[in-house]
Structure 1
Amino acid sequence: MSETSSPRVVIVGAGPAGIRAAVMLVEAGLRPVVIDEAQRAGGQIYRRPPAGFARTAKQLYGPEAAKAGALHALFDRLAKEARLTHCAGSSVIAVQEGRLHVLGEGGVQLVSYDRLILASGASDRVAPIPGWQSAGVYSLGAAQIALKAQGVALGRRIVLIGSGPLLTLVGTQLVKAGADVAAVLDTSSWHQQMRGLRDLAARPLVALRGLVLRARLGGHYHAGVTLERIEADGQSVTAMRWRDAGGRLHLTPCDTIGMGWHLRAETHLADLSGCAFAYDEQWRQWLPKTDAMGRAGNGVYLAGDGVRLLGADGAEIAGRLAAAACLADLGLPTPSLRADLRKLVRLERFARGLAHAFPWPAVMVQALPDDAVVCRCENVTAGDIRQGAGFGGGEANRAKSLSRVGMGRCQGRYCQLAAVELVAAQTGCTPGAVGRFRGQAPVRPAPIGAFLRDG
């Protein structure tokens, strides 16, 4: 992969959004480059295991097995026919002046682009609770990756905490695989979940499927819980301390905890690409601004959960829309996507229902005790952030510079949202007024040796 051989259009991400964008570009006669961190296309939701893996597609993807298989086969065929260039196992760590800095096995190389489609997806949105820095605490996505990619459960006795569809899905997947799931603890109450029903009715079959999965958890599932702390013995997790909806205290022994509150859009590359952002009150996070087709300006297009948290179906549509916008801006013919735009409206309504039914636990975060760790990378506590907020005037990057929150290897992916909530509560303003951490390169940790070149 060299700078001179780069095509005009580069796609970052080979999940549903990236694959659909690539297909449309290929059909228009272009030969895009698709850069993805995984070795095989599919993204997180359709993540593929290593060759020779024993579990079937039905076991891995459930009712989405046929759709996942079709996407995999389509992308693989286009790559085999050399109608696109697939840069697997490669991570874009910086964007500068129309060039991507791509980290791969050969080190960091530069890839130029005339048009850039970012389909960077999303990661777990986690909320800190006392003790979450202990060994044995993972995100729900990490637990799902281990199950899909290696067929293992991350622990002998597992407790899952958080809220949202992924909580239920990972719980049922682990139970079906034979794992010992001691409890699935949802911070959203039944009453709160009912508030989202009207919008969830926009996709009745998907909503019904979620209820069926919930039913399979049986007595493992508890709604409206209060999470008090994760107990640990200095070496690893030993138990989860929580209160049920009636206020009764429970101590559930376990050696592993998976946590997550729906998703957090992966926006670092969009930030470095110069995209504008706006605070989304519905999702309580900063999201890039685009038009209906995914245009973000300066030859950059966004698709998938990195801009709209609409799930796999929404990501496929967004990928097609972004590719169509790219083709139109290049002066090439594009197919009619009116049906996709209409379906997108329905998906956005369903997403609103999810946001209402399974909200981010802002009150829980704002009430964290001062000694609770918020930034696990830098061991920054809630008290440190509150103290920094007093000197920083309620601005995110001032609080960051004073407390070091968000300066670790995750670059604020796990702590930024909670830190902003704490600063807002301390200074009496809204999270939107506090702002967001500025994106910085490299967006992923990179070894110094990767930047060194022979000669």
Structure 2
Amino acid sequence: MSDVSSPKIVIVGAGPGGIRAAAMLVAAGLHPMVIDEGHRAGGQIYRRPPDGFIRRPEQLYGSEAAKAQALHALFDRLVAEGRLTHHAGSSVIAVRGGRLHVLAEGGVQVIGYDRLILATGASDRVAPVPGWQSAGVYSLGAAQIALKAQGVTLGRGIVLMGSGPLLTLVGAQLLKAGADVAAVLDTSSWRQQMRGLGGLAARPLVALRGLALRTMLRRRYHAGVMLERIEADASGVIAMRWRDAGGRQRLTPCDMIGMGWHLRAETHLADLTGCAFTYDEQWQQWLPKTDEMGRAGNGVYLAGDGARLVGADGAEIAGRLAAVACLTDIGHVAPSAAADLRKLTRLERFARGLATAFPWPSNMVRTLPDDAIVCRCEDVTTAGVREGTDFGGGEANRVKSLSRAGMGRCQGRYCQLATVEIVAARAGCAAKDVGRFRGQAPVRPAPIGAFLQEGWGSG
């Protein structure tokens, strides 16, 4: 049992980063609390299917099956032994004054902490394409989750589009599952992808596995495409209109489209805890500032893709580093972090190679037609964002208040990056000069009753 006088350490997120942080703290004799939206630990990358699911781990996780199973078993053992407290199916919707407001099936409870480790991960980074508000359009992550968690594909004729390793991975996974993948459309040209080889050489085996998956796609894969419009009727998607690298117009019939351009760090909780942010030119998004161990100040530590977009392996390392930093700061004996820091440096070099090879399509977004929807939650068009810029100037939150872009249930998770690009183009400035949407509580949709309970909003 841990000492009752020990500081209360709360970890948000039970993916690779959160699990490794928890294990490190437990090994030091502490009893952390882990809060996670999933009903079973594993995170998005190692999401676990329901009991009785017939597909084997090798089919779900491919070459990462052994890692996934090891993490699942580690966390389950710590819970079974009573060495940590696990709040499953729970969402942190607000942070204030060292307290977390946690929404679960029973309502909202307020949980205090002395130290907080945020391992909130990342979500799909999507870019608007005319017609993307139509039924039958999903993120790549949503398509992957449906396959992992339920063993289903989301359409009979599928087109995937975007750029980055997830585009190839999801395409290969769907093909293995027997889905009809009509086309995989990559906005990054072959020449651009070659520019990332220097960084990708930091993990040659991973890069080779990616190439092997690419070969599975065969002629379905097209690099350097221009995405024109998603065609739809009253029932949903019917075709994707695009141009190949040679400029030839193509029309691919389909009833489902998956889209994504790598990842967007999940930073809403970090924002509410008062973390400072910096604009990363290569990833073209705002990321929280931390030291090399994940310290963000005020007893807050960040681990995983919520701070550094380095993937599942990097998240495990970052989780251990955050735990070591936490142990050091509270006066506990902590193991050396030197080896993990060296590994993380190599993984970050590989990640930067990915960012170079598969960039965010800023020019495509900046030149969207006026009638294209930017914010799907609030049905805000590109013209609306441009008009908001004309009235409010090139500042993200002014345009947000004038146009309502980013004010829907996703709180800008899907439209903020595109909105900023459009504002920057209209105002004639760089995207970093536009700023970012301020984080607001609740960071997830919550029932009205949650705000009426005693304790909501209290210090």
1:80-138 Cα offsets, whole Å, 9 max, x none, are 11100010000000000000000001101000000000000000000001000000000
Residues 371, 381 of structure 1: 8 Å contact kept: yes
1:232-290 Cα offsets, whole Å, 9 max, x none, are 01320000000000011110000000000000000000000000000000100000000
Q: CA deviation at 1:195?
A: 0.4
Other-structure match for 1:340: 340
Q: CA deviation at 1:448?
A: 1.1
1:41-83 Cα offsets, whole Å, 9 max, x none, are 0001000000110000000000111111010000000001110
AA of the residue aligned to 1:167: L
Other-structure match for 1:73: 73
Mapping of 1:24-423 within 5 angstroms?
24-423=24-423
- Tell me the distance in 2 between the aligned counterparts of 1:6 and 1:276: 28
AA of the residue aligned to 1:86: H
AA of the residue aligned to 1:306: G
- Tell me the distance in 1 between the aligned counterparts of 2:401 and 2:79: 45
Residues 228, 243 of structure 1: 8 Å contact kept: yes
Give the direction of change, closer, same or farther, for the CA distance of 1:377–1:333 in structure 2 (3 Å limit): same
- Tell me the distance in 2 between the aligned counterparts of 1:223 and 1:17: 33
Alignment gaps of 5+ in structure 1: none
- Tell me the distance in 1 between the aligned counterparts of 2:242 and 2:105: 45
AA of the residue aligned to 2:116: L
- Tell me the distance in 1 between the aligned counterparts of 2:283 and 2:389: 23
AA of the residue aligned to 2:330: L
Q: CA deviation at 1:393?
A: 1.6
Residues 192, 358 of structure 2: 8 Å contact kept: yes
AA of the residue aligned to 1:357: A
Task: Work out the percentage of aligned pairs sharing the same amino acid.
Answer: 80
AA of the residue aligned to 1:370: D
Q: CA deviation at 1:392?
A: 1.2
Q: CA deviation at 1:449?
A: 2.3
RMSD: 1.3
1:288-335 Cα offsets, whole Å, 9 max, x none, are 000000000000000000000000000000000000000000000100
AA of the residue aligned to 1:320: R
**SS at 1:264's partner residue?**
strand
Q: CA deviation at 1:453?
A: 4.4
Q: Give every structure 1 segment of 4 or more consecutive aligned residues whose post-TM-superposition deviation is greater than 2 Å.
A: 4-7, 449-455
Q: CA deviation at 1:5?
A: 12
- Tell me the distance in 2 between the aligned counterparts of 1:450 and 1:76: 30
1:200-221 Cα offsets, whole Å, 9 max, x none, are 0000000000000000110111
AA of the residue aligned to 2:407: M
Q: CA deviation at 1:430?
A: 0.5
Q: TM-score, normalised by structure 1?
A: 0.98
1:136-156 Cα offsets, whole Å, 9 max, x none, are 000000000000000000011
Deviates more, 1:234-243 or 1:10-19: 234-243
Q: CA deviation at 1:452?
A: 4.2
1:326-376 Cα offsets, whole Å, 9 max, x none, are 000000010011111001111111011000000000000000000000000
Q: TM-score, normalised by structure 2?
A: 0.97
AA of the residue aligned to 1:146: A
- Tell me the distance in 2 between the aligned counterparts of 1:410 and 1:235: 24
**SS at 1:202's partner residue?**
coil
Residues 6, 30 of structure 2: 8 Å contact kept: no
1:372-394 Cα offsets, whole Å, 9 max, x none, are 00000000000110111111120
**SS at 2:354's partner residue?**
helix
**SS at 1:426's partner residue?**
helix
Q: CA deviation at 1:29?
A: 0.6
- Tell me the distance in 2 between the aligned counterparts of 1:66 and 1:176: 19
Residues 136, 256 of structure 1: 8 Å contact kept: yes
- Tell me the distance in 2 between the aligned counterparts of 1:5 and 1:228: 61
**SS at 2:34's partner residue?**
strand
Residues 7, 115 of structure 2: 8 Å contact kept: no
1:386-421 Cα offsets, whole Å, 9 max, x none, are 111111120000000110000000000000000000
AA of the residue aligned to 2:129: I
Give the direction of change, closer, same or farther, for the CA distance of 1:407–1:5 in structure 2 (3 Å limit): farther
AA of the residue aligned to 1:263: L
**SS at 1:154's partner residue?**
coil
AA of the residue aligned to 1:120: T
**SS at 1:328's partner residue?**
helix
What is the aligned residue count?
452
Other-structure match for 2:444: 444
